[in-house]
């Protein structure tokens, strides 16, 4: 029980970084907050005994640094995709649900390379959020799970607004 409480306290700090990243419009700051969020979630992953989460989040930090420096190339995307998949599967201790961080991070890693249109980015973000939400609640990381639910709701509203603007412009 103490492990769950400690993990959720750590994850709450990550949720704060997530919300700060959502409140800024500066791309470099967004990646900076994502790096901080993922770093903190690496600590909570250790507490929760989630090594697939730890590996995928660590690689996501590296991906975000590359994105921040505008050095995220096709080769990096492919290499990171292979490392995320192999590393996440090799250290998975949570069964099928332990593959959710692998899949979520893999999808987001590929989407960050191929998609620039905000509508499609948000679609892939929603998939990412859904996978992480399920995962967090299953491992009892309620702080992160609730933060993901809130982010999902914000993303749905944003997608609705984008869709409405697209329809009104046609």
Residue closest to 77 by CA, chosen among 126, 115, 51? 115
The pLDDT, as a whole number, for residue 165 is 82
pLDDT over threshold 80, residue 154: yes
Per-residue pLDDT tens over the stretch 91-148: 999 999 999 999 999 999 999 899 878 788 888 888 999 999 999 999 999 999 999 9
Average pLDDT value for residue range 160-167: 81
Q: What is the pLDDT of residue 155?
A: 82
Range of the domain at 60: 2-168
Number of domains in the chain: 1
pLDDT for 170 equals 66
Q: Residue 93: exposed, middle, or buried by beta-carbon count in 10 A (0-12, 13-18, 19+)?
A: exposed
Rounded CA-CA distance 47/124 in Å is 28
Q: With 0-12 CB in 10 A as exposed, 13-18 as middle and 19+ as buried, what is 135? A: buried
In this prediction, residue 63 carries a pLDDT of: 95
For the cut 70, the answer to whether the pLDDT of residue 2 exceeds it is yes
The pLDDT of residue 110:
95
E-only strand ranges, the chain: none
Looking at every residue in the chain, the average pLDDT score rounds to 91
- Under a CB-based contact definition with an 8 Å cutoff, are residues 127 and 143 in contact? no
pLDDT at res. 30: 82
The per-residue pLDDT for range 40-87, each reduced to its tens digit, is: 999 999 999 999 999 999 999 999 999 989 999 999 999 999 999 999
Phi-psi region of 72 (alpha: psi -120 to 50; beta: other; left: phi over 0): beta
């Amino acid at each position: 029980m103490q492990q769950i409480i400690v993990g959720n306290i750590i994850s709450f700090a990550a949720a704060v970084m997530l919300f700060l990243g959502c409140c800024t419009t500066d791309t470099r700051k967004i990646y900076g907050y994502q790096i901080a969020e993922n770093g903190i979630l690496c600590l909570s992953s250790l507490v929760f005994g989630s090594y697939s989460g730890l590996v995928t989040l660590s690689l996501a930090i590296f991906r975000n640094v590359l994105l921040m420096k505008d050095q995220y190339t096709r080769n990096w995307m492919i290499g990171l995709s292979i490392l995320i998949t192999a590393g996440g599967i090799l250290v998975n201790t949570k069964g099928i649900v332990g593959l959710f961080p692998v899949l979520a991070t893999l999808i987001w890693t590929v989407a960050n390379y191929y998609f620039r249109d905000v509508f499609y980015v948000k679609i892939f973000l929603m998939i990412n959020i859904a996978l992480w939400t399920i995962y967090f609640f299953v491992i009892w990381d309620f702080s992160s799970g609730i933060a993901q639910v809130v982010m999902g709701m914000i993303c749905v509203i944003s997608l609705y607004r984008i869709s409405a603007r697209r329809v009104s412009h046609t």
